[in-house]
Amino acid sequence: MTMGGTGLAMLLLLAAGCDGSKPLIKREAEKPGPFPAADRPVATIVSARWSNEEARDRLREAAQVMDKAEIRRGMTVADIGAGEGYYTIRLAARVGEDGRVLAEDIVAATRDQLAERVSRERLDNVSVRLGEAADPKLPDASFDRVLMVHMYHEIAQPYEFLWRLRPSLKPNGLVVVVDANRPTQAHGTPPPLLACEFAAVGYVQVSQVPMRSAGGYMATFRAEGPRPEPAAIKPCRLQSPAPAPARTMHP
């Protein structure tokens, strides 16, 4: 059996590709981790309907949050845990046709209902997507503001979530958290605990103001410095110093 020059060359190329020096199947990059566990209870996810929208508007809830977060026309904003879209709809009007809103929820049925509402109201500047409990899956360097309204206490893996969120912020981007000042199991987050968990992942707190119209307070955070390796994250520990019953946090 004889082989022409072209066939011999092909055989040599195939042999060179199978010499074991490089894998034939490209493996996915290893996932980072493990991340530390949160030393606190996690609230269960409740109905997307926090209260009716008319009552919230009478208190100027969304307007006050957007004003204090300095959300303006042309910005790109993520609404995490968007639910039925109370903030999504109002953010879309605030950022205007030159801005963008990405509304996200981790419950597929809720995401679908919001997508129908966005389509029905013809909000061309809004995109709706499904996220994951520990990963918002946001595009890098895309957002001026990331809003998390009355949902932070439902995040079971806050360090991983905040770690994966960081790259999505623009250089001057802010994470905006609205929550109640009560224990996490009671559907709130004590402000010192919130600040501690953000700081553990390399965020700096920019502001904190009372937000009675939204049932609690609003805090903003900016990512600063390099993102820490997951193994280097020091979790916040809740301790009960004797004899005082108060609980304190430290990173």
Angle subtended at Cα 175 by Cα 211 and Cα 112, rounded to the nearest 5 degrees:
90
Give the mean pLDDT of the chain. Answer: 85
Q: Which residue has the higher pLDDT, 1 or 143?
A: 143
Q: Is the pLDDT of residue 6 over 60?
A: no
| Residue 77: per-residue pLDDT | 98
CB atoms within 10 A of CB 112: 13
Q: Which residue has the higher pLDDT, 26 or 251?
A: 251
Q: What distance in Å separates the CA atoms of residue 106 and residue 132, rounded to the nearest whole number? A: 5
Mean pLDDT lowest among 1-15, 66-80, 194-208: 1-15
| Residue 32: per-residue pLDDT | 74
103: its two tokens: 């509304």
CA 205 to chain centre: 16
Confidence of residue 237 (pLDDT cuts 50, 70, 90): confident
Q: Which residue has the higher pLDDT, 44 or 149?
A: 149
pLDDT one-digit tens code per residue, 142-181: 999 999 999 999 999 999 999 999 999 999 999 999 999 9
Q: Is the pLDDT of residue 107 over 50?
A: yes
Using CA of residue 228, residue 232, residue 238, residue 241, what is the dihedral sign? Answer: negative
Q: Is the pLDDT of residue 12 over 50?
A: no
Mean pLDDT lowest among 11-15, 38-42, 103-107, 120-124: 11-15
The DSSP secondary-structure symbol of 130 reads E
CB atoms within 10 A of CB 195: 21
Q: Which residue has the higher pLDDT, 30 or 211?
A: 211
DSSP one-letter string for 161-208: HHHHHGGGEEEEEEEEEEE-SS-GGGT---HHHHHHHHHHTTEEEEEE
Q: What distance in Å separates the CA atoms of residue 175 and residue 198, rounded to the nearest whole number? A: 10
Residue 151 near residue 158, CB atoms below 8 Å = no
Q: Is the pLDDT of residue 249 over 60?
A: no
